[in-house]
């Protein structure tokens, strides 16, 4: 028994070290150890980790320069909000989407994050928000009553007190949301520009932050692959389902940190060469950051290598972020467990998903998506 305790303690310290240093935590450790262990020891250790991480997050906030709101990217000809103005033919709209996508992709390659407005209508965002809160309550009950395993409803999230990562099912409503996002807004074409048609749907979920949730530590979602910065790993699209205010816990992104150079500095926590500040803290002190204070139905797309953190929700309102991630099809495991229901993992690429969503939108249905939906737990 003592050996087992020591083993769990060693694993706990290793995970804690990975999180604080900004390294990816091995997927086989994080979900198994932190979420599926029922032992009193594991939860006590996790509580200790959360306390340490919360303290580190507060310290990072104190040394970083004040963040400014992320502004929408407005390619020429896209209208005041980055969407479409006035009436246009199908052909001209498609052409405009492609042109906007090129501009958004260029910003993403350069700085690692871009804001695109009006990717969901406010009505659709309201519907989706109501749905995810109802789904969350149902999922909690199902898990508590052991009707379904937790992994079929929730994914892992850093600092889970007052936070949850609620994985999404395939339903008529989520079909409409995905169609609007990937087929009618510039998001789909932007992802195609960056990753190609074979990009794999890697995540399909909703992050919910309740009042009282603490600030996370700054971290990347994935490491750098290769010897340079030319291999993207994932691109994640966060869509706000309410008008976000600065006190509701918006995401803080650090532009230009999706690079090997930034990651190397970020991973050195000990001062050297007579300095009193570590390279990691020096990076946090000197780099600018932006906040995803997103209006309802607007999104931020970011490179998974970009340093970022969820901020504290100091408001009296919960906030919900609907999101999808697509993975570089040339890579295997990206270094971060996927927030997606197991029955959907690795089943769809961008081309297939867009094709099936368009078919549903046209009233023709989708045999492929219906087959996946029928197998959902």
Place of tokens 């406010």: 122
| Region of residue 273 (left: phi > 0; alpha: psi -120 to 50; beta: else) | left
In the chain, the N- to C-terminal Cα span, in Å, equals: 36
- Ranges 20-34, 66-80, 254-268: which has the least confidence: 20-34
Considering Cα of 289, then 291, then 297, then 302, what sign does the dihedral take? Answer: positive
The predicted pLDDT at position 177 comes to: 99
CA distances from 195 to 143, 201, 232, 291, 331 (A): 36, 11, 8, 25, 11
Of 37-46, 154-163, 238-247, the range with the lowest mean pLDDT is: 37-46
The answer to whether residue 180 scores a pLDDT higher than 60 is: yes
Length of the chain: 377
Per-residue pLDDT averaged across 350-373, rounded?
98
The edge-to-edge listing of strands for the beta sheet with 68-69 is 68-69, 290-291, 251-253, 308-310
Residue with tokens 């932050």: 209
C-alpha dihedral sign at 346, 377, 139, 173:
positive
- Give the closest residue to 170 by CA, choosing from 194, 200, 120, 205: 205
Q: Residue 26's pLDDT is what?
A: 37
Q: Model pTM?
A: 0.86
* Region of poorest pLDDT, from 7-11, 58-62, 255-259, 303-307: 7-11
Task: Report yes or no: 186 and 79 within 8 Å, Cβ to Cβ.
Answer: no
3-class secondary structure, 73: coil
CA distance 42 to 272: 35
pLDDT of amino acid 141: 96
- CA separation for the pair 103, 256 (Å, rounded): 17
pLDDT in tens, 148-171: 999 999 998 776 788 999 999 999
Sequence ranges of the domains in the chain? 67-374
- DSSP H or E stretch at residue 264: helix 260-266
Residue 32 pLDDT exceeds 80: no
Q: Which CATH class is domain 67-374?
A: mainly beta
Q: What are phi and psi of 105, to 5 degrees?
A: -65, -35
Per the model's pLDDT, the better-predicted residue between 183 and 14 turns out to be 183
Rounded Cα distance between 248 and 208, Å, is 11
- Give the lowest-confidence range in 23-27, 53-57, 99-103: 23-27
Residue 3 above 50 pLDDT? no
pLDDT at 41: 45
Residue 10: predicted pLDDT: 42
pLDDT at 21: 46
Secondary-structure percent of the chain, ordered helix, strand, coil, rounded to 5: 40, 15, 45
Buried b / exposed e across 14-35, counting CB within 10 Å, b at 16+? ebbebbbebbbbbeeebbebbb
């Amino acid at each position: 028994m003592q050996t087992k305790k020591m083993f769990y303690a060693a694993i706990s310290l290793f995970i804690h070290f990975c999180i604080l240093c900004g390294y990816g935590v091995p997927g086989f450790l994080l979900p198994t150890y932190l979420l599926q262990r029922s032992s009193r020891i594991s939860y006590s250790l996790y509580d200790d980790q959360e306390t340490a991480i919360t303290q580190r997050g507060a310290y990072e906030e104190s040394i970083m320069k004040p963040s400014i709101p992320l502004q929408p990217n407005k390619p020429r000809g896209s209208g005041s909000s980055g969407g479409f103005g006035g009436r246009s033919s199908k052909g001209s709209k498609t052409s405009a989407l492609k042109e906007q996508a090129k501009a958004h992709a260029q910003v993403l390659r350069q700085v690692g994050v871009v804001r695109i407005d009006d990717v969901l209508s406010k009505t659709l965002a309201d519907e989706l928000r109501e749905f995810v809160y109802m789904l969350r309550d149902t999922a909690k009950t199902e898990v508590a009553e052991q009707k379904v395993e937790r992994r079929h409803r929730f994914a892992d999230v850093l600092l889970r007190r007052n936070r949850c990562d609620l994985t999404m099912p395939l339903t008529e409503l989520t079909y409409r949301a995905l169609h609007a996002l990937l087929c009618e807004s510039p998001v789909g074409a932007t992802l195609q520009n960056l990753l190609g048609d074979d990009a794999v749907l890697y995540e399909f979920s909703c992050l919910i932050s309740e009042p009282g949730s603490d600030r996370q530590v700054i971290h990347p979602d994935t490491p750098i692959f290769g010897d340079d910065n030319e291999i993207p790993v994932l691109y994640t699209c966060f869509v706000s389902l309410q008008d976000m205010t600065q006190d509701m816990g918006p995401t803080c992104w650090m532009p230009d940190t999706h690079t090997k150079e930034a990651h190397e500095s970020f991973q050195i926590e000990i001062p050297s060469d007579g300095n009193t500040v570590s390279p990691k803290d020096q990076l946090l002190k000197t780099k600018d950051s932006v906040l995803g204070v997103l209006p309802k139905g607007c999104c931020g797309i970011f490179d998974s290598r970009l340093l970022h953190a969820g901020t504290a929700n100091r408001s009296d309102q919960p906030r919900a972020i609907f999101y999808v991630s697509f993975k570089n099809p040339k890579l295997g495991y990206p270094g971060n467990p996927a927030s997606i229901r197991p029955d959907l993992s690795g089943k769809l690429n961008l081309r297939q998903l867009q094709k099936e969503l368009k078919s549903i939108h046209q009233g023709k249905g989708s045999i492929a998506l219906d087959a996946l939906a029928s197998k959902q737990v």
